Structure formats: C-alpha cells, structure tokens
Amino acid sequence: MAEENDKTGRDEALNEDASTPETADDATDETPVAEAPAKAGKFDRLTQEEGGVRKLTGMYKNWFLDYASYVILERAVPHVEDGLKPVQRRILHAMKVVDDGRYNKVANLVGQTMQYHPHGDASIKDALVQLGQKDLLIDCQGNWGNILTGDEAAAGRYIEARLSKFALDVVFNKKTTEWMLSYDGRKEEPVTLPIKFPLLLAQGSDGIAVGLASKILPHNFVELINAAIAHLQGRDFQLYPDFPTGGMADVSRYNDGLRGGTVKVRAKISKIDKRTLAITEIPYTTTTESIKDSIIKANDKGKIKIRKVDDNTADKVEIVIQVSPDESSDKTIDALYAFTDCEVSIAPNSCVIWDEKPHFLGVSEILRRSAEHTKSLLGLELKIRLGELSEAWHAASLERIFIENRLYQLIEGCKSREEAYSAVDKGLEPFKMRLRREVTLEDVQKLTELKFIRISRYDSEKADNEIRQIEEDLKSTQYDLDHLTEYAVAYYERIRDKYGKGRERRTELREFDSIEATKVAVTNAKLYVDRAEGFFGIGKSMKDAEFVCDCSDIDDVIVFTKDGRYVITKVSDKAFFDKNIYYIGVFKRNDDRTIYNVLYRDGKNGAIMMKRCAIKGITRDKEYDITKGTAKSEILYMSVNPNGEAEVLKVYFKPRPRLKKVIVDLDFSTLAIKGRQSQGNLFSRYGIHKIVLKERGTSTLGGQDIWFDEDVRRLNADGRGKLLGEFKGDDRLIVWTSKNQYYITGYDLMQHFPDDTVLVARYESDRVYSLCYYDRGQKYYYMKRFTAEMSDKIQDFLDADADFICVTDRAGAKLEITYKGAHASRPADVIDVDEFVGVKSHRAKGKRLTTYDVDRLRMIEPELPPEPEPSEDESLDDGQLTDASADAAQRAAAEGKASGKSALKEPLGAKPAPGKAPAGQPSAGTIVGGVEFEVERPKGDAGEMIDPEQLNLF
C-alpha cells in the first residue's frame, strides 16, 4: 500500500511538473496563439504519456539528484565523526556481532555484513581487504595481498580476520551508540560508531561520488595523538601525511589537505656502487610493479640509460637498477625522479560528511572536531558510569537496610503481591532519608525477590566494603567528569603508550629541489640543420643535412640567422625558422655562464660593433635580435662559450688611404659582459677583409661559487644554503657522515649526498683533523690526528666499537678534560692538541688521553684573525669593476671570509675548468657575409695587442 501511495505521489508530481510552466518563457509559450500545429518530433513517443507510460520530463531532475545524494552520503564520502564510509562501518559492526576472540573466515564476514549492506559481496570483500591492509582495526591471517607489490589478497574462503585489540578498545560502545534500522528493517545498525580516535586521518580515505570526490591522506598514529593532546591543551599543532610505503614527501604545498594543495612523494634511492642503484622505499599510490614498468618505458623511450632492473621485493622494497657504463648514477637518480613513477604528485581533497551534507574541511579542523567528539564521548561514558554507580549504591544500600533491619519479615501474612510491596515500602519509610533518591516500586520488587539463601548468608562487613568502594568510585568518576579535559588527555596518552610502539613515522619530510627534465634527460637524438634552406630538427627527414650535436627530444634549441635574428624553440622532428642559419645549438635556460662573443655590422654599410652577452631566459618561439635590429645587419663573427671563454681575434681590414694599421687584434676578455639587449661597443667604421682566430681564450668568469643546501642535501650555484667557496679545476669536496665515515668527491651540481651526511666542506690534502673518541672495548678515551686520503672510496675513520666525541681542524687548538666520580675533585687538564700526538693515518688508533673517569671533553679553538678590508685599488677610476676584476673581488671576498676558518665550521668550495664551445657554428675556412674566417695557430710573435678603445683612431 505504501508503495502504491509513493507511486501515485510520484506520478502526480511528474504530471504537475509537466503541466506547470517553470520559467517565464514557458508561461509565454502556453499563451494561445493562432499558429499551425507543431510537427511531431521523433522523440515524442518517449516524452508523451500514452497508455499509462510515464514521461521522461522531470525524471532526471528529481531522480538523478536523489541518486547523487545517495552516492555522496551512503557510499563514497566518509563521515567526520567516525571517519568511516557506510560499508566500512557495517563491516566493523558485523565483525563485532560475531566476535568471540577467534578468527572468522572472510567469506563468513562478508555474508554477515550483507545483512546490513544492500550491495554485492565483491564490494564488501574489497573494502574488508583494504581495512585489513591498513593494519589498524583488523587482525589478519592468511594471504591478504601486498600493498608494496600490488598483489591481490586470496579468496575470502582462504583468509581469516578478527577485530584488533585497538578496535575493541577504541571503536565500540553499545551504551553511547546511536542505532537505526537496516535497509530491510530486520536488523539494527549504528548511525556512526563511537570511535574515540582520529581514525579518518590515521587511515586516510579515497572515494569518488557523483560530481564530488574525497581524498584524505593517511597521517602518523603518534603524531595524531600528540596533535589531539595539543588541541585539548590549547596549543598549536601541524599535521603532515605519513604513508605506509615510506618514501620522502615535500609537504610545502600541503594546504592543510584542502583543494588546491599538492604533495610530492619520492622513492628512496640509494647508491650501492658507482653503477648500481637500489630503490628501498616507494611513493604512496604506487607499487613496485608500476615503478618497474615506468622505468622500463622510460628506458625504451631513451629518457634514461640502464642495463637492467630487478624487483626483489618481499617484506621490504628492493628494486635494483644497473646503470649503463657511460652514464652517471647521480644523473640517473634525477632522471628517475623526472621520467618515472619514482616521483608522483598527490592532490588532496579533504571532503567529509557532516550534518548530512558534504563539507570541505582541512585536516587540522577534522582533528579538532575529532578531539572534541572524543572528549564528549568520554564525558558521556563518565555520565553513564556515574549513573550506574549511583544505581549500584542505591541497590546495595536498600539491600543492607532490608536485611539488617529484617524487613523481609513484613512479608509474612501478606496474601497478595501488592500487599507485600506496600508492607515493605512502609517498612522502609524510616530509612528513606539515608538514600540519595526515592524508592520506586521496581526497587521494592527487587527486594522481595531476594532468595532466602542470600539473606541467610548476608555479610554486613563485606557489604559495607562494597558500598565504600562504590562511594570512592563515585568520587573519582565525578572528579574525572569535572576535569574532563585532563581525563581526555590521559586517555590519549594511554592509547599512545599502549598502541603507539612500532608506529613511528615512515615517510621522511624534506624539501625537494626542482629537477629540470632537460638537464637530466639523456641524449637520445641527433640534431641536424640545413643552413641554406633554414630547416632543422631531429627527425628522419633531416638525416641528410649537416649534423650539429647530440641532444634530447625535450631540449630547447637556439637558432641564429646571419642578419642577427634568433629564436629559442623546442626541438622537433623538422622545423623552419629562416634561410641562412648562422648558428644552432642546445639552449640551457637560466645559464649565466654561457657567454656569446659577437662581432657584427650594423646595417648594410654601418659601423662594426662588438659585444659579449649572456642569454639566460626568454619567451619561447619569440623572435629577438642580437644586433641593434637595423635592417641588413650581419653577423661577422660569433662564438658560444659555455664557461665564459674570451678568445683573441686577428682582424684584417680592407686597404684604404690613411689607414694606419691594416691588422689589429681584438681581445674579447677586455669587453664587459652585458645583457642580451645591449648594443655593444664600437669596434671600427672600416670594412673588414678577413678574421682569423689567433688564440683560444680562457674563462673570464673565474671560479664558480658553490653552496650546499642542507634541506635538500644538494649543491647549487644559486646562493641557497651554506657557501662552500669558489671552485675550479680539480678542486674537491670532503663529505662526512654520521657513520664515522668520509669520502672525497667532486663539485658536480648533479650529485646526491647520503641521508646521513653531517658535513660537506672543501677538501685540502694538508688539512689535519684532530679527533677524540671513546673506545667501548677498552673503556678509555683516545685522540688521533690524521689527514684525509684522496680516494673516491668511503673511508672509516673509527672502528665499529668506537663513539665519536669531538673533532677540530684548527691549528693551535686545546682540549679541556674534566673528571667525575672518584676523580671529580681533580682539576681539569688542558692539552695542547698539536703536541699531544703526531699526525698519522686515519686508520691509526691514536693515543689514550687519560685513565681517570672522564666527565667531559671540550675543544678550545683559537680565535680567527680579523677579516681583511677590501683595498681601494680593486676599483677602477670610474668607480666600477670590470667583469674580470669583479669576479676576482668576489673570489677574494669569499676566500677572505673563509681563510683560516675551520672547514668543520665554515666549509669552502670550487670553480669548474673551462669547457669547449658547442658545435653548430660555421667551420674554419668558410666565408660569412663576404668576410673570410679561418684559424691561425699563434707562433713566436703573438702580434701586437691593443686596447679596443684605440680602434676608433682610424
């Protein structure tokens, strides 16, 4: 009958919707107008009601909204109070119903849950397996799959489960649970479970509804409890994800888990040796199989170069990668992060159900609500406990009065129950003032139903002790209720101490350095150019053209024409810029060390200009001019120098009257490096016959300042972190680790440092390290002095049974020794470190400091001399520095700041050796713009070198 009424109501609503105009336009359309009847449409039979068939009009409007609301509220999005989706809540309730302490078959649990969940068994089993894999609420037995490898669980008839002790302690309480009927009205199920823990943030949640999605990342068990305690105590807290698969996470843009945030997660990759890498932890949402597949695909596409990849994962992740012999392992690590699933970005979207509606709440707000909800549940439990204790005290007191005063004798002679109840109630009148509440008929009934054997064995002393214990429990419960916040804090601390062991943070939080894909991509393509026709590219159709260089298929290239126009574009199979290409090469964005030396003619018969500039970053595919932009300008000479090299040219002018010197030298090192839009300096107004390369120059940029960023454990030249100094040539770094090891390495910005790195400093072969340590075997303190050996191998400077105490590399240092125990009254000794023991190998044991009980060792280092003031001679007459002198001044400042300082306090750095110019420019002996260009080897007389300013004397 109810179904018929519901059907009739829906039909009336549909008919009403169909007949009632919804907009002003609809009302206007219904106004009678004399016009021809509309032609029947091909969908009229679907939208008109014929023979009792319901129309589709309005059906989606009403039913689709109901369906979307159902999916959001009842399937995909978790509730903020207990952090569970309905299927998860019903699984836990069903497991509690059948719980007897023993394992149950998963198939049996699925069947039990189907009494509450109106969907198929497959979804229940999948949700149960996911709950079990989170290792928090369910104790599993059997093959439950592997979240690391992605292996699925066995069939439900082969695996078993039961509720964990944590779930039994935290999740369930019938007295505080709100109940509702199941979908068929036969059973009762909880509206929400009274969970006294931020379960939603601990497990995380992922669901897709209709027009809505929720993605909440898992957080650390102990950190959540600490944050809840902090909130209850009025302190600030911060929450960040912690993933069961470990790895490393950059949470700088977490945005409290709200929409718009992102978390970058990386695998942990370590170097076993120079040619072998090992992945020991993987990003969340990935598996070892997916990572292996992504590595193989990247290798097939030429993004990385590896020989072999093996997945040896069992209980722990182990993916071994064999790097190609001609490839750097450090570069391969960056390439793995750039081109494979070793780095993934996760976009959180914290959406929960609250007050029967979806809400977007940050993880901090979810935790606050969880803590307050837990506090209210604890308060409710205390109130229930208080009521139960009060009832127990009332019942015990009535029983004592009833038995000790022999009121049971009043029942004798009573012919009916009502008469007996009345007699007992009348007998209790003198004692009712002692009680805390009124005596009810139910109380009297219980007294009359006491068995005679209980009355005869009644022990007054034992009853008094029980009442006294109840009164103490009442006081303690009332105290906890009056101090509910402290009680909630104590509850959280008990949970943390009982279940927090073994739940330490697995994901390391750190900032990631940005990896430019073009810098780590391997050269998997060849660049070709057709200079005359203006085509260039890496496709098969270009293989008959001139080869330029090896490159990657994601590189940018820079292309110059003879008239000085240039463009930067992404490399492609075949592209066209303009005819008469002068230079083409791979472009590195934000590279301030690649310098372009240019000699060009401004206009058809204009002056000859010279300039040096760097092209750091411009808009891709936009045309620029290296010249002034005058029509018919022409590049006479150009070189691209990756390390700022400045060559010397011999320039031959065309003979003409009154020309004093026909041959002059042009030294580019005397020109200042300016911006790419600078016009340059005037070289000459006379025509040039020939240009000869007289001498290949060296770098004018000096060394390269290197910084070490401790947050990301990477070197950089951008000024981030601690300045190591200026490096060049064969300069090296020394790296110290917390495992009492060191090794010597170069200053390549691509290299990775171990996670246990404690210090990175400039390596100096003659630097002496004075080190104190404690020998656990001998139980004495020792000192040894050594110099670090030049070796790429990792060196152990202490044995396994030694504990590092202190170290210095400062000459003239002193060691202060204070004593304890029986020698506490002994005055402290001060030892001259340089004279106490000689300099030997790092393998030497050293010399014992003392046989007394040592309380503390402290190095006393001498003060550094004051830093030198820069002299006025370093500046030019016009108050500005040239490029060379400016670099020298910066270099001197950096070395001056670090000179005499301990490398363990203020490490220094290095600068690279000059490189070779890239290919892509015309070969020697060719004619460019009517000017002959060739290379001349310098002989005995290098020729006269003149200042470019004198070239304007012609």
Evaluate if residue 894 carries a pLDDT over 80: no
Name the segment(s) of the chain with CATH classification 1.10.268.10.
Answer: 366-499
Assigned CATH topology for domain 229-361: Gyrase A; domain 2 (3.30.1360)
Q: Is 355 in a helix, a strand, or coil?
A: coil
Of 59-73, 182-196, 539-553, give the range with the top mean pLDDT: 182-196
Q: What is the mean pLDDT of residues 571-589?
A: 90
CB proximity list for 870: less than 8 A, separation 6 or greater: 889, 892, 893
What are 357-398's pLDDT values in tens digits? 899 999 999 999 999 999 999 999 999 999 999 999 998 888
CATH class of the domain defined by 84-194: alpha beta
Evaluate if residue 823 carries a pLDDT over 70: yes
DSSP 8-state secondary structure symbol assigned to residue 34: -
Which CATH code is given to the segment(s) 366-499? 1.10.268.10
What are 674-714's pLDDT values in tens digits? 888 898 999 988 888 889 988 887 777 777 888 888 877 88
* pLDDT at residue 953 in the model: 34
Plot region of 302 (φ>0 → left; ψ -120 to 50 → alpha; else → beta) = left
Name the segment(s) of the chain with CATH classification 3.30.1360.40.
Answer: 229-361
Out of 158, 183, 528, 652, pick the active-site residue. Answer: 158
User: For residues 894 and 906, is the Cβ–Cβ distance under 8 A?
Assistant: no
Write the single-letter amino acid at 892.
A
Name the segment(s) of the chain with CATH classification 3.90.199.10.
Answer: 84-194
Evaluate if residue 876 carries a pLDDT over 60: no
Q: 193 or 443, which is more confident? A: 193
Evaluate if residue 630 carries a pLDDT over 50: yes
Q: What is the mean pLDDT of residues 180-201?
A: 93
Evaluate if residue 586 carries a pLDDT over 80: yes
Of 505-519, 622-636, 939-953, give the range with the top mean pLDDT: 622-636
What are 749-799's pLDDT values in tens digits? 878 888 888 889 999 888 999 999 999 988 999 999 999 988 878 888 998
In whole angstroms, what is the distance from residue 92 CA to residue 694 CA? 85
CB proximity list for 326: less than 8 A, separation 6 or greater: 305
User: For residues 62 and 13, is the Cβ–Cβ distance under 8 A?
Assistant: yes
Based on the residue annotation, tell me whether 158 is a catalytic residue of this protein: yes
* pLDDT at residue 345 in the model: 94
Q: What is the per-residue DSSP string for 776-808?
A: TTTTEEEEEEEE----SS-EE-S-TTEEEEEEE
Average pLDDT, the chain: 82
Q: What is the per-residue DSSP string for 256-323?
A: GG-TT--EEEE-EEEEEETTEEEEEE--TT--HHHHHHHHHHHHHTTSS-EEEEEE--SSS--EEEEE
In whole angstroms, what is the distance from residue 590 CA to residue 631 CA? 29
In whole angstroms, what is the distance from residue 73 CA to residue 77 CA? 6
Q: What is the mean pLDDT of residues 897-921?
A: 39
Evaluate if residue 899 carries a pLDDT over 50: no
- Go through 686-704 and write b for each residue having 16 or more CB atoms within 10 A of its CB, e for each that does not: bebebbbbbbbbebbbbbb
What are 35-44's pLDDT values in tens digits? 444 444 544 5
